[in-house]
Structure 1
Amino acid sequence: STPTITPTPTATPTPTKIPTPTATPTPPLGAICVLAYHDRDGDGARGPDEELLAGAVFTVSDERGVVASHTSDGVHEPYCFEGLSPGNYIVAERNPPGYDSTTPDQWAVALVGGARVDVTFGDRAQPTPTLTPTLTPAPTPTPTPEPLLPKIGEALYRASGIIVLAFLAAVVIGFNLLRRS
């Protein structure tokens, strides 16, 4: 028998669609803004007459540690820590010298993308110690003792006339008594 050629089908490549990578949206960044004010009335809420304070040190930390810090100048506040990723932060304040807190010194902040969170810290001036004068008793003058001999001599001199008269009277009386006997 004679061989016959049978055609075999060959695979023809067909183009397949490769998915186009889509960019994962980056969540918008947020900000935490801080300020310290002079809480004159100590109520923990900033009033219209309570000015900004210089010298407060702010830190923003996340679970890895301190992210940023800033020292207030009392003029350019609130100060904003910008470009923060969404997440949980601790915002802390170290009081300016000579001030005590009227609000908590630490706040937990859950920052969502694109948000701005304002944190205010109230501080009140420490009382100035009032000096109370202590009275020191005035020393009582102590008389200086005078020598005794000059006083005796002066007393005898003043009484010398009487002493002489008494002596003469005693001599006269004694003489008369002796004569009678």
Structure 2
Amino acid sequence: NRVLVDRSVEAEFTEKFVAKVRTLKVGDPSDPQTVIGPVINSSQADALAGAVEQAIAEGGTALVHGTTTDNLVSPSVLTGLPADSALLRQEVFGPVVFLVPFDGEEEAVRLVNDTPYGLSGAVHTADIERGVNFAKQIDTGMFHVNDGTVHDEPLVPFGGEKHSGTGRLNGETTVDAFTTTKWISVQHGRSRFPF
């Protein structure tokens, strides 16, 4: 849940991003107005609240400070985390975002890959070719150009790299994951082998 932002657009992006996050409705997923439903259980809700408090204790700034009610966690947007923060190297599954500024593509690649995880990622750019070249440098199982990071389609392999898991599911990869190829031959008649 790191969002890396080029410093040249950091101020404008942050202002617009925070404004949008403040509009996201948290609640019952059966309500069509809800954007953020509950997390899987109270332990995950507590872990997300703990991550926000840890970020603040490390010197981060909460631009949006979410709250937790049961399994409903409203979004938090944080910035200013120190570069050595463990939070920047974790998979945080929930509505907690760490904004991380960078200078240039080389630094962005280094920051993105500086984690033991590698499930999914995305890059947004006006130059599609540059986005694809960037994606090739990232150690993830999935990477998306000009789209969100979460996709799960039945025919497309889903899976990560590093500590985000091994193997892929969906489509033909599912057949491979749950089957073993075995060759059985039957010779009718007598085989003759030269000695």
Relative to the length of structure 2, the TM-score reads 0.19
Give the number of the structure whose residues are more often strand, by fraction.
1
Structure 1 or 2: larger helix share?
Answer: 2
| TM-score, normalised by the number of residues in structure 1 | 0.20
